[in-house]
Amino acid sequence: MRVKHMIACVGLLAGALVGVASPTAQAAPTRYEAETSPAVCSGTIDSNWSGYSGSGFCNGANSTSGYAQFTVNASAAGTATVGIRFANGSTTARTADLVVNGTTAQALSFEGTGAWSTWATRTVSVAVKAGSNTIRLSPTTSGGLPNVDHLDVEAGGGTNPQPPGGIVGWATQAGGTTGGAGGTTVTVSTFADLRTQAQASGTRTILVNGMISGSGTVEISANKTIRGVGANSGISGTTLNIEDMHPANVVIQNLNIRGVLGNDAIQVENATHVWIDHNTLSSTVATDPDQYDGMIDMTHAADYITVSWNVIRDHWKTSLVGHSDGNASEDRGHLRITYHHNWFDRTFERSPRVRFGETVHVYNNYYSNVRNNADSYAIASTMDAGVLVEGNVFENVQQACWSASGYADSDPGRLVARNNSFTDSGPCETNGAVAAVPYAYTAEDVGAVKSSVTAGAGAGRL
Q: Which residues are catalytic?
A: 350
Q: In whole angstroms, what is the distance from residue 156 CA to residue 42 CA? A: 28
Strand partners, 256: 234, 280
Question: Could you tell me how far CA 144 lies from the centroid of its own chain?
Answer: 28
Amino acid at 26: Q
Q: CB-based burial of residue 381 (10 Å sphere; 0-12 exposed, 13-18 middle, 19+ buried)?
A: buried
H/E element, 120: strand 120-128
> Phi-psi bin for 391: left (phi > 0), alpha (psi -120 to 50), beta?
left
Strand partners, 128: 78
Query: What DSSP assignment string belongs to 211-239?
Result: EEE-SSEEEPPSSEEEEESSSS-EEESSE
3-state helix, strand, coil in the chain (%, to 5): 5, 45, 50
Backbone angles phi, psi at 347, to 5 degrees: -105, 105
Whether 99 and 111 have beta carbons less than 8 Å apart is answered as no
> Phi-psi bin for 356: left (phi > 0), alpha (psi -120 to 50), beta?
left
Q: In whole angstroms, what is the distance from residue 346 CA to residue 332 CA? A: 30
Spatial neighbors of 344 by CB under 8 A, at least 6 apart, are: 312, 313, 318, 351, 365, 366, 367, 368, 370, 378
Q: In whole angstroms, what is the distance from residue 434 CA to residue 432 CA? A: 7
Question: Could you tell me how far CA 20 lies from the centroid of its own chain?
Answer: 26
Is the omega angle on the peptide bond into residue 352 within 30 degrees of 0, that is, cis?
yes
> Phi-psi bin for 113: left (phi > 0), alpha (psi -120 to 50), beta?
alpha
Nearest to 382 by CA among 349, 406, 408, 350: 406
